[in-house]
Amino acid sequence: MEEISNKTLAILLISAIVVSLGGTLISLNRLASIRSPITGLATGDTATVDLNIAALAQVNFTTDTINWGTGTVNAGMRCALNSHSASLNDNCTDFTPQENGLVLENIGNKNLTLAIYMGKTAATFIGGKDPVYQFNVSNSESNSCAADSWEVVQGQWYDSVVQASNITICNETDGGFRSGDDNDELRFDVRVVVPSDAIGAKDDVITADVVEI
């Protein structure tokens, strides 16, 4: 067998290199023409956001004073003062009319049952012969005490009650005294009838007692 000459080997080597380069170029060109990217494996992750909103059962008298000032009662007569009406009867002299009442707001985030009581009775607050000390309650904002939660009649006068016999205003039946921003205010009005034989500075405290529902 004849031996392959060096020249022939050189030609074959060059031909192999050319074929190899040509194949590589063709492969690279084909890879570049592929539009869809080649993706590897991806691993997601998660994060958390946490908080804890505490329950708050709290009320506040945002209007907390009724003050008729100083005045007198005509001899032998009775003077009626009412925070629901600015009018004074003819038996009252120099008292300052009041018509704003007290406003109790549920400033917490829980619906509540609500009861109230006074510190004094009519006799211990006003004194004299046959004094009167009464209150009434109504919604200052619509539906603050839900319709079926009322245990008193809105706008009706009730005699003063002391702590031992507090009176429930709004129960849990229909949501109670509500905490929504637009329905969380009740109005309390006070009426006193002062006999002419009563004398001295008078003051009392009304307490709102609540339980969360």
pLDDT (tens digit per residue) in 77-91: 999 999 988 878 889
The pLDDT value recorded for residue 84 is 87
The structure tokens listed for 161 are: 């009650």
Give the domains, in start order, of the chain with CATH numbers: 59-212 (2.60.40)
| Beta pairing partners, 102 | 188
- Average the pLDDT over 107-114 and give the result: 97
Q: Residue 190: its pLDDT value, please?
A: 97
Residue 17 reports pLDDT greater than 50: yes
pLDDT per residue as tens digits for the range 60-109: 999 999 999 999 999 999 999 999 888 788 899 999 999 999 999 999 99
φ, ψ dihedrals at 93, nearest 5°:
-125, 125
Q: Check the CA dihedral 19-21-26-27 and report its sign.
A: positive
Structure tokens, 164: 């031992």
**Is residue 42 very low, low, confident or very high in pLDDT (cuts 50, 70, 90)?**
confident
pLDDT of residue 59: 97
Grouping H, G, I as helix, E, B as strand and the rest as coil, residue 13 is: helix
Q: What is the 3-state secondary structure (H, E, C) of 60-104?
A: EEEECCCCCCCCEECCCCEEEEECCCCCCCCCEECCCCCCCCEEE
Weakest mean pLDDT among 17-21, 65-69, 163-167? 17-21
Which residues lie below 8 Å from residue 185, measured CB to CB, with a gap of 6+?
Answer: 62, 103, 104, 105, 106, 139, 140, 141, 144
Under 8 Å between Cβ of 60 and 105: yes
pLDDT at 1: 45
- pTM attached to this predicted model: 0.77
